[in-house]
Structure 1
Amino acid sequence: MKSKTIYLIRHGETDFNRQGIVQGSGVDSELNEWGIAQAEAFFDAYQHVPFDKIYTSALRRTIQSVQGFIDLGIAHESHAGLNEISWGCREGQTPNTMDNAYYRDLVLSWRSGQVHVPCEEGESPVDVRTRQKPVVDLILSRPHERTVLVAMHGRAIRILLTLLFDEHLTEMDKYEHSNLCLYRLKYLYSEQKFVLETANDITHLLSLDIPHNS
């Protein structure tokens, strides 16, 4: 049976993650020291996997998260369609009490079915899934790439997984994620469906010392 295995990871930690600042697609931040350590730990654990291709978003934090594999000479493509959701005018700002309430109410509205509602000056979950689908179709159109590594972002991963499993977007928050977590999936071409093998796996990070906030 012909299949494709997808290793889907979230990027490593950035200083914005550490500070609770929303990045979205408009803030092209870099990994911090801990994020680099996470990326190196993931590389150490999975460098033996024969990846045929690496796909990342167009943002630096995803590319840096798989740099070790790129340095091995594995072919790499970046696609803006895999970027994080645009959180609009609140990107890059330290959340205050009003912002936190805004995000809470927005996510609750999405869970209630209002998935066409965008962030202020940003995107809706429907917008994100619409731009993700052509990239998914591209990846699936290449069956000769039997094993691929995809590096993305937290909210974007939640949205993507509902697309891959043909679920309503109201289901996206059931997919938990943390920095440099792994979802492993298999696509069965004969059945045209995805199978989830591993979810939010961080066992490759357990050897790292817990970082201390400075």
Structure 2
Amino acid sequence: MKQKTIYLIRHGETDYNRQGIVQGSGVDSDLNAMGQAQALAFYQAYQHIPFEKVYTSKLRRTMQSVQFFLDAGIPHESYAGLNEISWGAREGKMPNSFDNEYYRTLIENWSAGHTDYPTEQGESPNQVMERQRPVIEHILAQTDENPILICMHGRAIRILLSWLMNHTLATMDMYEHSNLCLYKLNYSYDTQEFTIELSNDSTHLLALVMHQ
């Protein structure tokens, strides 16, 4: 049975993450010191995996999160289709009490199945899914690449996992994520189905937590 194993990680911490500022696809921030330490900890834990290819979004924080693998000579491709959702008008801003109400309404709409409801001047989950699809189809078409590493973003991962697992996007908040967490997926070419082996796993970061 031919299959592909995908290690899917979220990028490491940025100062925007730490401050609770919305990034989305319009803010191209760098990892902070903790994010760099998370990237190193993940590399040290998984450098023994013979990754055939590393895929990232076009945003610096995903590339910096896998830089140790790239420095080791693993081929790399980046796609805007893997970028974070565009949060539009609220990117780069610290949420205030008015924004809290805005986000509550947004999440309530999405959870109710209105996943074509866009962020203000930004994207809807449906639009994110539609730009993810051709990238994932391209990745799956590379049948000789196994295993692979993909580095993406929090909301984008929630959207991706929902449709990969044949769930509606309304269920996306069931997929939790933290900075530099790991989802390990297996794709069967026979059944054309994904299974999740590890979810939001951060055991590779335990040493960092103990040192904080």
In structure 1, what is the equivalent of residue 180 of structure 2? Answer: 180
Segments of structure 2 that go 5 or more residues without pairing to the other structure are none
For 2:5, give the aligned amino acid: T
In structure 2, what is the equivalent of residue 105 of structure 1? Answer: 105
In structure 2, what is the equivalent of residue 95 of structure 1? Answer: 95
Q: Deviations over 1:46-88 (max 9, x none)?
A: 0000000000000000000000000010000000000000000
Look up the SS of the partner of 1:184 in the other structure: strand
Q: Normalising by the residue count of structure 2, what TM-score does the alignment of the two structures yield?
A: 0.98
In structure 2, what is the equivalent of residue 13 of structure 1? Answer: 13
Segments ≥4 residues shifted beyond 3 Å:
209-212
In structure 2, what is the equivalent of residue 37 of structure 1? Answer: 37
**Contact kept? 1:28, 1:60, Cα under 8 Å:** yes
In structure 2, what is the equivalent of residue 69 of structure 1? Answer: 69
1:211 CA drift (Å): 7.5
1:116-127 alignment runs, 5 A limit: 116-127=116-127
**Contact kept? 1:62, 1:152, Cα under 8 Å:** yes
**Contact kept? 1:184, 1:198, Cα under 8 Å:** yes
**Contact kept? 1:7, 1:183, Cα under 8 Å:** yes
In structure 2, what is the equivalent of residue 56 of structure 1? Answer: 56
Q: Normalising by the residue count of structure 1, what TM-score does the alignment of the two structures yield?
A: 0.97
In structure 2, what is the equivalent of residue 133 of structure 1? Answer: 133
Look up the SS of the partner of 2:92 in the other structure: coil
Look up the SS of the partner of 1:137 in the other structure: helix
Look up the SS of the partner of 2:176 in the other structure: coil
In structure 1, what is the equivalent of residue 114 of structure 2? Answer: 114
1:176 CA drift (Å): 0.3
1:157-168 alignment runs, 5 A limit: 157-168=157-168
1:207 CA drift (Å): 0.6
Please give the alpha-carbon distance, in whole angstroms, between the structure 1 residues aligned to 2:27 and 2:188: 36
Count of aligned pairs = 212
**Contact kept? 1:34, 1:211, Cα under 8 Å:** no
In structure 1, what is the equivalent of residue 23 of structure 2? Answer: 23
For 2:196, give the aligned amino acid: L
CA distance 1:31–1:108, shift in 2 (3 Å): same
Q: Deviations over 1:89-127 (max 9, x none)?
A: 000011111011111110111001110000000000000
Please give the alpha-carbon distance, in whole angstroms, between the structure 1 residues aligned to 2:14 and 2:100: 20
